[in-house]
Amino acid sequence: MTYNADHSRTLSRQAMKAELLDAETEQRLARAWRDDRDEAALHRLITAYMRLAISMASKFRRYGAPMNDLIQEAGLGLMKAADKFDPDRGVRFSTYAVWWIKASIQDYVMRNWSMVRTGSTSSQKSLFFNLKRVQARLEREAQSAGLDMDRHQLRQLISTEIGVPLRDVEMMQGRLAGADMSLNAAQSTEEDGREWIDVLEDEAAQAADLFEADHDQAQLREWLMSAMDALSDRERFIVRERKLRETPRTLESLGIELSLSKERVRQLEAAAFAKMRKSLEGQSSEVHLLLA
């Protein structure tokens, strides 16, 4: 922690000593990077505005992220701005870079706020960084006016104030209300207390279910093989090719192989199925579905 704080202060001091660029020099450096990929010009431009990045990073310390990480993200945003900046538009680089720096820091904060993804849309991001401030102001204003608002009314006002859907307000309030909790945390202070992960339902198939399924499949195979024994060789071949292959063959392809018409193959197939259904009368309905 001490190292991080010292390193942050060192970066801040170095940034404060950097040169201040006038508009003409800024434009020249930006063109040199854009047109010639002049890395020296890029380094000079980035160094000059690193103080802006550090200043913006410091405004997000209240979210609990290490200052060094915030500065690093701010620097990445500054580099993105330099790469996308168009000096011919007549806008100062600092004005353009502010958006990229802020976006980079906000993305980092939201990614690291919780193990559960806090949000990714623009409305969710706006809520994450403004919800508590807007809510506190609205509550103060209501109290000063002598108004008594319930939670639903307050959420509607927040939705209107920030310009986001009401459902997003409800969702974000829920996400910001609690902290992450490990599933390996004990449910009680007792020595033999269960962990929270112990109460989660196992979605995998249970041993009894697997045994029952295997038994049913074996019974189905036995019934089918018994029914197919009553067929002629040609009928058995057609049933196997039409129903037991991963990719069933067409009537036409079987007709060519057996030197029969497509219609004759269909008739033989229907006759074979009729024999098998008669043989399987009284058995499981699943077997009959295979012959549909």
User: In CATH, what number is assigned to the domain containing residue 215?
Assistant: 1.10.10.10
Predicted TM-score (pTM) of the model is: 0.46
Q: Identify whether 157 is part of a domain.
A: yes
Q: How confident is the prediction for the chain on average, in pLDDT?
A: 78
Please report which confidence band the pLDDT of residue 4 belongs to, taking 50, 70 and 90 as the band edges: low
For residue range 74-111, what is the model confidence (pLDDT) as tens digits? Answer: 999 999 999 999 999 889 999 999 999 988 888 888 77
Confidence (pLDDT) at 115: 42
Q: How many domains are contained in the chain?
A: 3
* pLDDT tier for residue 163 given thresholds of 50, 70 and 90: confident
**3-state secondary structure labels for all residues of the chain:** CHHHHHHHHHHHHHHHCCCCCCHHHHHHHHHHHHHHCCHHHHHHHHHHCHHHHHHHHHCCHHHCCCHHHHHHHHHHHHHHHHHHCCHHHCCCHHHHHHHHHHHHHHHHHHHHHCCCCCCCCHHHHHHHHHHHHHHHHHHHHHHHCCCCCCHHHHHHHHHHHHCCCHHHHHHHHHHHHCCCCCCCCECCCCCCCCEHHHHCCCCCCCHHHHHHHHHHHHHHHHHHHHHHCCCCHHHHHHHHHHHCCCCCCCHHHHHHHHCCCHHHHHHHHHHHHHHHHHHCCCCCHHHHHHCC
Same domain, 171 and 254: no
Q: Within this chain, do residues 109 and 138 fall inside the same structural domain, yes or no? A: no
Is residue 203 in some structural domain?
no
262 and 217, same structural domain?
yes
| Same domain (yes/no): 130, 160 | yes
Quick one: pLDDT band at residue 25, thresholds 50, 70, 90? very high
Q: Rounded mean pLDDT of 104-132?
A: 69
Q: Domain containing 47: what range?
A: 2-113
